[in-house]
Structure 1
Amino acid sequence: MDLEDEVPARRRRGRELEDALLDAAWDEVVELGYTAATYEGVAARAGTSRSVVYRRWPTKRELVLASVERRGARLTLSVPDTGSLREDLVALLDEVNAGRGQAMLVLGSYAGEFYRETGLTPDDVRDHWLGERTTALAQVVERAVARGEVDPARVTDRTVRLASDLLRQEVLMTMRTVPPESIRAIVDQVVVPVLTGGLPRT
């Protein structure tokens, strides 16, 4: 008898079962890294058999990408609307920092083996994370343009992503969440000046 057949499957089906498997896959990669993560480990975490996981995602690459999509869909952000670009950015980055610190570390650092072995880049994985959703940052910038705070000519994919790129870099360099004063420095000294053409705030 195959060992996987000795693992009793819980009576879960459909979306409930897939969610449990994908959550288990995420935890497996977070704790062990991509290379050490196994189908057997994911199955054990989910309380099911290896074949149940393998039938849905025949490669580890597919399984991990699906777990990234699942995690991204769960971590939705509220979009602040204070009437000020600066205050919206600070509120949004504070929320990202508090709620997504682990995810940023996983996508940017812990999953380094995944990038090397699959040939994907962090940008590729970010697309799976976001799915079809518009980013909260894009909405904040769009509102600032509508209010006349931001010159539309300054709005590009790169300038819209600037705040999150700088926050992620800070997380990866320090391997911890970012202090509030650093978030405000990112907003006041870099992001708002780039988007508005104003002088850095000291």
Structure 2
Amino acid sequence: MGSDQAPSPLRGKAREDAILAAAIELIADIGYERVTMDGIAARAKASKMTIYRKWPGKTELVAEALRRHAEGDALHIADTGTLRGDLLVSVEGIARALVGERGPSLLGLLGAIRVDPALRELVRAQILGASDRTAAEICRRAAARGEEVRSASAPAVLGLAVAQVFLSIVLDGTAPDTAARHRLVDEVLLPLLAHKG
């Protein structure tokens, strides 16, 4: 924290990335509520002045860290060659993001989201934005392959997938297994998205 800390040699984007990575690590290690700007600064070997120049507070810093983390993880949806395959990959990605396979889980942030309106709105916007972008990409690919899809329904269908996977994790204590993900796609999502002849 103070002058005992060796200054970071990182500059610009590299320093910003280190700060965001430190926030993600700390949330995963100790939970959002216990993370402080001092702790992030110490972990990133950055000054608090540097952090406050870019982010007005912990909520904004954490929201950007979560957004960057999710973008790095999730919106690389493999093109499987079919609408069904792309939906399966998307549902698997949703499950990974919610349980925090490589970072903090959304479940671990629930308490903070409930009491922090600013964080709640930022996380909400990120989830909806990611669902919309994923839905648009899946539909664009399907249409390019000649598959008929209800593109207008796609954001709601992906939102339904997020809600179902989230509920499954809350009630079962674990992400849906392969069979459950296949049932969700085959019995719910695909019938809602695929255009019937």
User: Is the TM value for this pair above 0.5?
Assistant: yes
Aligned to 2:4: 6
Aligned to 1:70: 68
- Number of residues of Structure 1 aligned to a counterpart in Structure 2: 195
Q: 1:37 to 1:176 in 2, by over 3 A?
A: same
- TM norm structure 1: 0.76
Q: Is the 8 A contact 2:28 2:104 kept in 1?
A: yes
Aligned to 1:91: 89
Q: 1:74 to 1:126 in 2, by over 3 A?
A: farther
Aligned to 1:150: 149
Whole-angstrom CA distance in 2 between matches of 1:82 and 1:112: 33
Which piece of structure 1 moves more, 98-107 or 142-151?
98-107
Correspondence list, 1:92-171, <5 A: 92-98=90-96, 101-102=99-100, 106=104, 108-120=106-118, 124-128=122-126, 135-145=133-143, 147-152=146-151, 155-171=153-169
Structure 2 unaligned regions, length at least 5: none
Q: 1:122 to 1:182 in 2, by over 3 A?
A: farther
Larger Rg computed on CA atoms: 1
Structure 1 unaligned regions, length at least 5: none
- Superposition deviation, residue 18 in structure 1: 0.7
Q: State the Cα deviation string for residues 175-197 of structure 1 (Å, max 9, x = none).
A: 43331111101111211122237
**Which of 37, 42, 60 pairs up with 2:35?**
37
Q: Does the alignment pair 1:17 with 2:15?
A: yes
Whole-angstrom CA distance in 2 between matches of 1:104 and 1:8: 28
Whole-angstrom CA distance in 1 between matches of 2:76 and 2:130: 17
Q: State the Cα deviation string for residues 54-76 of structure 1 (Å, max 9, x = none).
A: 33323111211121222123224
Q: Is the 8 A contact 2:157 2:193 kept in 1?
A: yes
- Superposition deviation, residue 40 in structure 1: 1.7
Whole-angstrom CA distance in 2 between matches of 1:125 and 1:53: 21
Letter of the aligned partner of 1:61 in structure 2? Answer: T
Q: Does the alignment pair 1:187 with 2:149?
A: no
- Superposition deviation, residue 122 in structure 1: 5.1
- Superposition deviation, residue 140 in structure 1: 1.4
Whole-angstrom CA distance in 1 between matches of 2:130 and 2:83: 24
Q: 1:10 to 1:182 in 2, by over 3 A?
A: same
Give the aligned CA root-mean-square deviation in angstroms.
3.2
Q: 1:107 to 1:21 in 2, by over 3 A?
A: same
- The percentage of aligned residue pairs carrying the same residue is 27
Which piece of structure 1 moves more, 175-184 or 42-51?
42-51
- Superposition deviation, residue 14 in structure 1: 0.5
- TM norm structure 2: 0.78
Whole-angstrom CA distance in 2 between matches of 1:143 and 1:150: 10
